[in-house]
Amino acid sequence: MEDLLRVGVITSTHGIAGEVKVYPTTDDPMRFKNLKECILKSNREMLNLHVAGVKFQKNLVILKFKEFNNINEVEKYRQAELYVTRENAVKLEEGEYFICDLIGLKVIDEFGKTIGELTDVIQTGANDVYEVTTPERKKYLFPVIKECILNVDLDEGIVTVHIMKGLLDL
């Protein structure tokens, strides 16, 4: 499991006081309201930052960090990624998982036969969809519904699925 979870990417500066526009990569942008600190990773460095202010603008979040006071200090961090530690992450409900924890899990059917590896999670709005890639590089899509996804065991690294009729007939 990864210790750091990505919550956003800095897209540009905002104003002259050192604020940045952030594209949120979390499914709950409101999580930024309670964000006290985060980690900035750029090509050059990794910084621990303290959040001094949060605003929302359309689909972006505007952040002010205590460490920066003008546009010149933040300009070099365009496209830098923002992370939180697992301890500072939003608490998940039962049956919810961080996508980074799912990628790479072995996928088996209810009889124990290996299907492949979970290679992507597609967020569709209604329900997520797991993309599973077989050893032969074939890709299958499994809707994340209780009739199809029977169990996710992060400790064992296994997702157990029920193959619904016609699901593998592509």
The CATH code of the domain that includes 43 is 2.40.30.60
- Read off the tokens for 144: 């994340």
Instruction: Indicate the number of domains in the chain.
Output: 2
Distance between CA atoms of residues 159 and 149, nearest Å: 7
Structural domain includes residue 166: no
Distance between CA atoms of residues 64 and 115, nearest Å: 46
Q: State the alpha helices, DSSP H only, in 31-160.
A: 71-74, 99-102
Structural domain includes residue 38: yes
Structural domain includes residue 63: yes
Last residue of a domain, one of 66, 88, 110: 88
Answer yes or no: do 56 and 122 share one domain: no
Q: What amino acid occupies position 122?
A: I
Cβ neighbours of 32 (radius 10 Å): 21
Answer yes or no: do 124 and 79 share one domain: no
86, 5 Cβ separation under 8 angstroms: yes
Last residue of a domain, one of 67, 88, 109: 88
Distance between CA atoms of residues 93 and 114, nearest Å: 28
Structural domain includes residue 11: yes
pTM: 0.75
Report strand pairing: 158-161 vs 106-109: parallel
Taking residues 74-101, report their average pLDDT.
Answer: 90
Answer yes or no: do 82 and 156 share one domain: no
CA count, 13 A, side-chain hemisphere, 138? 9
Answer yes or no: do 9 and 84 share one domain: yes
Summary mean pLDDT of the chain: 92
Q: For position 95, what pLDDT does the model report? A: 84
Q: How confident is the model at residue 2 (pLDDT cuts 50, 70, 90)?
A: low
Answer yes or no: do 71 and 113 share one domain: no
Least confident of 1-10, 33-42, 110-119: 1-10
CATH code of the domain covering residue 142: 2.30.30.240
The total number of residues shown for the chain amounts to 170
Q: How confident is the model at residue 32 (pLDDT cuts 50, 70, 90)?
A: very high
End-to-end CA distance of the chain: 32
The whole domain housing 35 covers: 4-88
132, 115 Cβ separation under 8 angstroms: yes
Strand partners, 92: none
Q: What amino acid occupies position 58?
A: K
Structural domain includes residue 169: no
Last residue of a domain, one of 23, 57, 88: 88
Q: For position 43, what pLDDT does the model report? A: 87
Answer yes or no: do 60 and 133 share one domain: no
